[in-house]
Amino acid sequence: MAITFLFCLLAGRFFYVQVIWDDDLRALALDQWMREIPIVAERGRITDRNGTVLAGNETSYAVFLRARAVENKEYTATVLSEILECDREELLEKIEGGRVSEITVARRVEKEKIEKLCSYDLDGVYYSRDNTRVYPYEDMLCQVLGFTSTDNSGTTGVEKYYDKYLSGKDGELLYETDLVGVDLAGAVAAYLPAENGLNVELTVDCEIQAIAEDVMREVYETYSAASAQCIVLDPQNFEILAMVNYPSYDLNNVPRDDPDTLNALSRNSLVSDIYEPGSTFKIVTAAANLEEYHQGNSSAFSPTHVFSSARTRSVDGTTIRCWSDHSNGKHSCQTIAEALNNSCNPCFTDMALALGSETFYEYLSLFNFGKETGIDYTGEALGMLLPESAVRDCDLARIGFGQTIAVTPLQLACATAAAVNGGYYYTPHLVRRIYSSDGSTNESIETTLKQRTVSEETSRLLAEMLEGVVREGSGKKAYIEGYKIGGKTGTAQKYENGHIAQGKYVSSFVGFFPADDPQYLALIVVDEPQGAYYGSVVAAPCAQKIFQGIIDVREISPYEEI
């Protein structure tokens, strides 16, 4: 019985080693008798929508060392350290340690150094082609593109989000060696080719991006601001045409040794950070009110309704004031259009309270506040929205004019687009397609409708009102003669530790054109401008310059009523 048991045990072990372990044992044997020289796949390019290369590659080389094949360890360590400018003692320790059969000595080595290294004919040292990621436009779109690590994998931005397409698959050149890693005479090499990465085509337009960056740089410097940001998108499909965060940094010289600086400069705050939008949010309140009016809600105000002439409203013991003192009857009797022109807070308090928290929150959800937009970018913030169950009347009143709510700039830009484009909220995106080196498309990023926000009628009427804001209201400095520009200004006080931060403001403007068929929408946010701080003074002129730049490069003709 015991002999039978032992026989079965040995037979089982034999079967396990010969069958189950077969592949693993073959791999181990192959590894002992083969030297692998990696063939690095070329990382895919990132281009703008017109094919302009924003992220590409330069050929460089990687140097490897097989420790057991090195004859003169100290000499080899000395030569490598001198040519490749690495630490000799650290390298020598790795060679003598024998813990790793193959050592990566250096990546991204220039051709001249490889030629010099080859002249020494060092045993156990070899090299292969590598790629150095290069960004021809240096700091352009830096927070969106992101950068790669030393091993060429995506670390941030588009480089990270689409890394599985961009990275490709490395190949190998295999040589037969003896047990210590020395090449066998007459051995034949086996070649496993690399699969280069796919290319990524952005929705971004380089010309519009350059215009927006120049304007943001100018306002940042003029007003000594903490930051200046801009989004330009197509309201018809929510393709991102430009995205600017200033100050910026050179993608070819990433400050990796200073984590705090790197985090601050590489963060795409348009997607990842939140702020109180102030009066630009009144677009959403007006849209909700007008839509409810068109739906027959008797609590909503009609477009011709004249609001109370009182300068203030008192809600739960909180006093809400209009910025104007209403002297001599100025701004004392206003319709919705005039309230938008004058940016009078009490009128929007009236709208929010009349709709009530349940109805108003339905629109906040439709306009995607408190939720991700779904943009193809990591680290998107949700914003900050009080739970409906916790909202008091004084909170609702303030939300109506853009306080007690925090949003990302992207959320606000998308919400505005959905309010004026006929009521369609799409998923915003930065990439149009993934394509191979021969130009053939591997994957297209389709336009996706998320939901309807308001009706065509409401959207058209609101766009007309916002055109009036630019033509004769607080947005006059965004006006361009002969073109229908719509928009809304915003000036919000900043809070620190729950209290108003004296002298600190966020100036903003969101605008679009043509007002009767929006093709371009721009949101400008200038944080802590010094001197002037009103959105009408600081941000609105930025939109005017960006729109004028687009008109010039696209050769858009003025309207006949000029």
Structure tokens at 50: 């017109």
Under DSSP, is residue 202 helix (H, G, I), strand (E, B) or coil? strand
β-strands 199-202, 46-47 pairing:
parallel
How many residues are there in the chain? 562
Under DSSP, is residue 382 helix (H, G, I), strand (E, B) or coil? coil
Structure tokens at 539: 């941000």
SS3 content of the chain, % helix, strand, coil (to 5): 40, 25, 35
The secondary element (H helix, E strand) that includes residue 548 is: helix 540-554
- Residue that the structure tokens 């909180």 belong to: 318
The secondary element (H helix, E strand) that includes residue 464 is: helix 456-472
Is the link from the previous residue into 514 a cis peptide, with omega within 30 of 0? yes
List, in order, residues 6 or more apart from 132 with CB less than 8 Å away. Answer: 57, 58, 59, 60, 108
Structure tokens at 79: 């030569």
> CA-to-CA distance for 279 and 456, rounded, in angstroms?
23
Q: What are phi and psi of 225, to 5 degrees?
A: -75, 160
CA 334 to chain centre: 40
> CA-to-CA distance for 560 and 263, rounded, in angstroms?
49
Angle at 441 between CA 439 and CA 442, to 5 degrees: 125
List, in order, residues 6 or more apart from 557 with CB less than 8 Å away. Answer: none
Residues 76 and 95 sit within 8 Å (Cβ to Cβ): yes
Residues 351 and 289 sit within 8 Å (Cβ to Cβ): yes
> CA-to-CA distance for 39 and 33, rounded, in angstroms?
19
With CA atoms as reference, report the closest residue to 550 among 219, 221, 233.
233
279 among known catalytic residues: yes
Q: Residues 263, 264, 267, 269: what is their CA dihedral angle, to the nearest 10 degrees? A: 150
Structure tokens at 48: 């703008």
- Residue that the structure tokens 């989000």 belong to: 161
List, in order, residues 6 or more apart from 263 with CB less than 8 Å away. Answer: none
Angle at 107 between CA 104 and CA 110, to 5 degrees: 135
Active-site residue (options: 279, 332, 357, 507): 279
Under DSSP, is residue 540 helix (H, G, I), strand (E, B) or coil? helix
What does each C-alpha distance from 468 to 317, 413, 465 come to in angstroms?
34, 19, 5
Residues 356 and 333 sit within 8 Å (Cβ to Cβ): no
Under DSSP, is residue 124 helix (H, G, I), strand (E, B) or coil? coil
With CA atoms as reference, report the closest residue to 336 among 359, 312, 307.
307
Q: Return the active site residues.
A: 279
